[in-house]
Amino acid sequence: MSKHLRRLKITVSYVTCLPLTRIDFSEPQLLHGLSKYLPLAGLIIGTMLFTLNSALAITRAEPIVTAFLLTVTWLILTNGLHFDGLMDTADGIFSHQSKDRMLEIMMDSRVGNFGAITGFIVLLGKFVTIYSLTGAALGACLIVIPAWARWCELYAIGKFPYAKVDGKGKVWHDTTVFPIDLLKGAAPPLAVTAAFALAGYPIVWTAMFFCVGSGIVFSHIMNSKLGGQTGDTYGATVEMSELCSLLALAVFS
C-alpha cells in the first residue's frame, strides 16, 4: 500500500499544483508506470472542485461568480499543464502542415494565434457550461469529469505510439501496460460514478458517457493527424473531453 501511495503522490505532484512530494526530473524512472494513477489524480482534483462548489453554495455566491471561481481553480489546480498542451496542439494541427512540421510547431514554447484562440474558446466554454449547471448535480459531475478525462488520457497514452523520438510524455507511454493499466485506472472513477448514481444523481452516467466518448474520438483524431501522440496531445485530450462532457450536460440536462 505504501508503494502505491507514494506513486500516487508522485503522479498528483506531477499533474497538479499540489506539492505532495518532491520530483527529481533527473531521475525519469520515478515516472515509470504512473499512468494508471491518472484517473485517481483526477478524482482528487474533482473532490477539490466539489468542495469549493459546496462552500460557495453555503455562502450563496452568485452563479456567475461560482462559475468563474471554479473555472479558474480548475486551471490553477492543474498548473495549466493540460491547457498548455491544448494550445500547443492547436497551433500544430491547425497549421495544416506535414506531420513532421506540425510536431515542430508544437515544440515551440511560444503560443500562436490558433493556440490562443482555442485556449480562449475552451476556457469560455467551461465557464459558460458551469454557469448553466446548478445544484448538487453540478457538484457530482465536477468530481467524475476530471477523473474520466484522465482515463481518456490514459487511453491515449497506452493505445497509440509516441509520435516523437523523445519528450516528457514518452516515459508515460513506454511504461504503460495496455490494456491492463486501462482497466486498473477505470476502477476508481467507475466506483465513484456508480456511488453517485445510486445516491440519486444518475446524471453522472451522462457525464461519463460523453467524457469517455469524446476523449476516445479526439485521441483517434490526433493519432490520424500526427501518426501518434505526444505529451501535448495527452493534455489536449483531457481538456477536450472535459469541455465536451460539460457541453453535453448543459445541452441535455
What pLDDT is stored for residue 252 in this prediction? 84
Model confidence at 175: pLDDT above 70? yes
| 181-232 residue pLDDT tens | 999 999 999 999 999 999 999 999 999 999 999 999 999 999 999 999 999 9
Average pLDDT, the chain: 94
- Structure-model confidence comparison of residues 126 and 136, the more confident one: 126
Q: Residues 153-159: what's their mean pLDDT?
A: 98
What pLDDT is stored for residue 204 in this prediction? 95
Supply 92's cell numbers: 500544430
Provide the angle, in degrees to the nearest 10, between the axes of the packed helices 2-15 and 38-58: 70
- Structure-model confidence comparison of residues 39 and 135, the more confident one: 39
What pLDDT is stored for residue 25 in this prediction? 65
Q: What is the pTM of this model?
A: 0.95
Least confident of 13-27, 83-97, 111-125: 13-27
- The CA distance from 10 to 35, in Å, is 11
The 3-state secondary structure of 48-105, one letter per residue: HHHHHHHHHHHCCCCHHHHHHHHHHHHHHHCCCHHHHHHHHHHHHHCCCCCHHHHHHH
| 56-90 residue pLDDT tens | 999 999 999 999 999 999 999 999 999 999 999 99
Model confidence at 128: pLDDT above 80? yes
For 119-148, give one letter per residue: b (16+ CB within 10 A) or e. Answer: beebbebbbebbbbbeebbbbbbbbbbbbb
| 228-245 residue pLDDT tens | 999 999 999 999 999 999
